[in-house]
Amino acid sequence: MKDTLKEKIKLLKDGRLSEAEFFKIIEHLPYQDIGEIKLDFHRKFRRGLPEVIYGSGKSMDQLRKIIAKFIELGENVLITRINNEKGEALKAEFGSLKYYPKGGILTFDREVTPTMEGKILVLSAGASDEYVAEEAYLSAKYFGNIVEKEYDVGVACINRILDLRKKLNDYSVLIVVAGMEGALPSVVAGLTSTPVLAVPTSVGYGANLEGIAALLSMLNSCAGGLSVVNIDNGFGAAFQATLINRKISGNG
């Protein structure tokens, strides 16, 4: 939004945009009311990161209105927790969209230029954790980070993560996603000085309690420098990792 306003201000100064047209552009601040949905386009000014849409539970009609408003304002969009049926249907309806089924992410088909020097690494314990890991990976890229990933490096074969230990200090933040007993973040935090954001997933057998066991394990970790987000919250980890990376990169 900030870049959009800078562009519009330049057009206003150059006389290529009238005052009436300019006020029409900014009249949605601090938010845009489109009926039952109120879009917070002012969030990027307050927090440095844009509005993101939680897609689960929203109707197709609501999603269409949201996407149309983002298109109207020339803003990029990130919609999380979109199932295949809705994702494919919206992509077909709006040709400018791209759907990532592995992470349940819907966004515009445009490359996001990284705005920070620091890098984020997303690690996942098993292939079953990939949905949450991809949500974190794609969200972090959307926010302008340089992001890399290493999946299926869980502690059941400890050598997989040990083989990566030399590179763990090359990043500003590590996002570590794990289900079952949630051991991987503790192991990673014990190998590096890089901040670790742990993401418990609901993957596991009965006593996993849909991620509660992994969550409690991570909260009780004896490894310092480890913080924990909610179960399956890959997006939340990406948001927090971005705030850290912005400060480290001097953007905050």
* pLDDT for position 233: 96
* pLDDT for position 116: 86
Mean pLDDT by 10 residues, the chain (252 residues): 70 85 68 68 70 89 88 84 94 90 90 87 96 96 94 94 94 96 95 96 93 96 92 96 87 64
For the entire predicted model, the pTM comes to 0.84
HSE-CB for 225 with a 13 A CA cutoff: 16
How far is C-alpha 155 from the geometric centre of its chain's CA atoms? 25
CA–CA gap between residue 190 and residue 184 (Å, rounded): 10
* pLDDT for position 28: 57
CA–CA gap between residue 224 and residue 109 (Å, rounded): 39
Set out the domains of the chain in order of their start, with CATH numbers.
Answer: 2-108 (no CATH), 119-249 (3.40.50.1970)
* pLDDT for position 66: 87
* pLDDT for position 45: 66
